[in-house]
Every structure is written in structure tokens, then in C-alpha cells.
Amino acid sequence: MSAIAACLENIRECIHAAAIRSGHDAAAVELLAVSKTHPIESIQQAIDAGQLVFGENRVQEILIKQPQLPSHVRWHLIGPLQSNKVRKVLPLVEMIHAVDSFDIAKDINRIGGELGLRPRVLIEINLGTESSKHGFNPTTIREQWAPLCALDKLNIQGVMCIPPFDPLPEKTRPYFVMLRELRDELEKRGGAPLPQLSMGMSHDYEVAIEEGATIVRVGSAIFGSRAAKA
Ligand SMILES: *Cc1c(COP(=O)(O)O)cnc(C)c1O
């Protein structure tokens, strides 16, 4: 068994255990393998171990990697998206995690319409104002929720966050709770279901699952550390 296969097996067990102990459906939690900066060979090892959904934070990297891997592999864009890349990336990815402004939402809506797509997206929420410059804060998302919901080609599936880093996963729990509660509030207001909560990374995904995460974005715990900051 490859090291990557062993890591994946261990993480799947931890996901299962975290879901069970918190009364969540383990089958409803998607493990998104964050493969950014890692080579094709590593991704292929993960595929061989049964992993079929991968997250990248750059459009350019998806464009390079996707043609080299089996076509049944599914991709999520987890990083910020620039307007000039929307047309290229929409046909390639199953979900865009980090819709971080009304302007990019409008672009995705318009180009999605032109391409005959209904892009599945998550709205990025910035809960820890000092650490991340991306995303709607809880005030702006409440103000802009109705206009976002009016973008009829946008298939808003839920919300995501990247909380301020703390080495102690328990310290991040309040952010996961905040995101879940905000999701519940937006769901009530918008009327449409928001089933997806994308939260939790290598060091805190178990806590995120306990708080209801449906997609955990795990990179270094699967592939090892990244050489350069990505
Ligand atoms: C890189 C990245 C991850 C994965 O981080 P790890 O700590 O390596 O698990 C998750 N989410 C986003 C948005 C990322 O950019």
C-alpha cells in the first residue's frame, strides 16, 4: 500500500468516527483531497486508493492536471476565482467553493448562462476578519443574500470558510458553529436548501464534521506538506 493510500484509509476512518460520535451521517461527508502543488503521480496514487474528487486552488493547475488523469475524476476549485478565468473553469469543475464577492457571482451567473450551465457554488464567508481578506463577512452576506439568490443561473449549494489558523482544533470549533448557524439563517431566508457546509482542513476536519461539515478539504494529511506556500 502506498503512503498516500494509508493516509486516505486512516482519514476515512477518522471521518467515520467523527460523524458517528456526533450523530451525523458519515456517508454524507465528502472527503475532498486537496492536491494543489502535488504531482500527477501522487494524485494517481490517491485515485488508485479509491479517491475520485480533488480540490485545486488555481485554475491553471486544473487545466494542466485534468487532461493527464482519468476523465471520471471530479474537480473542485477551492481558491479565489478571477473574472477572466470563469469561462475556462466552469466546464471543468463540479463545484466552486470560494465565491467571495458579488461581482464574481455575477460573472459566474452570466457566463454560466452563456455556456448553458448552472454552476454549483459555495459562498465564502469570512468569519475571522483579521486573517483572511476573502469572502463576505456576516454583515455583508445578510445584505447581499437576496441579490445573490436572484442570480438565477447560480446554483448556490451552501457556504464555506477558512477560519483563522489555530494549532488547537478545538479553538476553531466556534467558527464552525458560526458558519453552520449562518447557513441555517440564510437557508430560512432564501427558501432554497443549502445542504453543503465546506469546512475543516487537515488539522481540524474532525471538529468540523462534529459541527456538521459535509465537505472537508484535506491536503497535507493525505499528500504530505507542500514545498512552497500555495
Ligand atoms: C490548501 C487548502 C486546503 C488544504 O489545507 P491542508 O491544511 O493541507 O489540509 C483547504 N482549503 C483551502 C481553501 C486550501 O487552499
Between the CA of 216 and the centroid of ligand 1 the distance, in Å, is: 9
Q: Give the model confidence (pLDDT) of 87-132 as tens digits.
A: 999 999 999 999 999 999 999 999 999 999 999 999 999 998 665 6
In angstroms, the CA 55 to CA 75 distance is 6
pLDDT classification of 142: cutoffs 50, 70, 90? very high
**Closest residue (by CA) to atom 10 of ligand 1?**
217
In angstroms, the CA 22 to CA 224 distance is 28
In angstroms, the CA 10 to CA 95 distance is 25
Q: Give the model confidence (pLDDT) of 56-92 as tens digits.
A: 999 999 999 999 999 999 999 999 999 999 999 999 9
In angstroms, the CA 83 to CA 7 distance is 36
Question: Tell me, what's the pLDDT at 228?
Answer: 56
Q: What are the structural domains, with CATH classification, of the chain?
A: 3-222 (3.20.20.10)
Question: Tell me, what's the pLDDT at 108?
Answer: 98
Determine if residue 135 is left, alpha or beta; phi over 0 gives left, psi from -120 to 50 gives alpha, anything else beta: left
Q: For a ligand 1 pocket test, name from 36, 217, 220, 226 the mutation site with the most ligand atoms within 8 angstroms of its C-beta.
A: 217
pTM score, whole prediction? 0.96
Contacts of 215 (CB under 8 A, 6+ apart): 29, 30, 32, 76, 97, 160, 196, 197, 198, 199
CA-nearest of 203, 207, 101 to 148 is: 101
Half-sphere exposure of 76 (CA within 13 A, CB side): 25
Yes or no: say if 208 and 175 are a contact pair by the CB < 8 Å rule: no
- Determine the atom of ligand 1 nearest the C-alpha atom of 220: 8
Q: For a ligand 1 pocket test, name from 8, 57, 58, 216 the mutation site with the most ligand atoms within 8 angstroms of its C-beta.
A: 57
Among the residue ranges 25-34, 48-57, 220-229, the one predicted with the least confidence is 220-229
Question: Tell me, what's the pLDDT at 178?
Answer: 98
**Closest residue (by CA) to atom 11 of ligand 1?**
217
- Determine the atom of ligand 1 nearest the C-alpha atom of 205: 9
pLDDT classification of 230: cutoffs 50, 70, 90? very low
* DSSP label at residue 16: H
In angstroms, the CA 40 to CA 46 distance is 10
- Determine the atom of ligand 1 nearest the C-alpha atom of 202: 9
Question: Tell me, what's the pLDDT at 129?
Answer: 65
Provide mean pLDDT across the span 128-144: 84
Q: What percent of the chain has pLDDT over 70?
A: 97
Between the CA of 202 and the centroid of ligand 1 the distance, in Å, is: 7
SS3 101: coil
In angstroms, the CA 8 to CA 2 distance is 10
Ligand 1-lining residues (CB < 6 angstroms): 34, 36, 57, 78-79, 162, 201-202, 217-221
List C-alpha distances in Å: 5 to 1, 45, 51, 62. 6, 7, 9, 22
Question: Tell me, what's the pLDDT at 191?
Answer: 74
Question: Tell me, what's the pLDDT at 200?
Answer: 98
Question: Whole-number mean pLDDT of the chain?
Answer: 95
Q: What percent of the chain has pLDDT over 90?
A: 92
Question: Tell me, what's the pLDDT at 58?
Answer: 98
* DSSP label at residue 192: S
Q: Give the model confidence (pLDDT) of 171-207 as tens digits.
A: 999 999 999 999 999 999 987 899 999 999 999 999 9
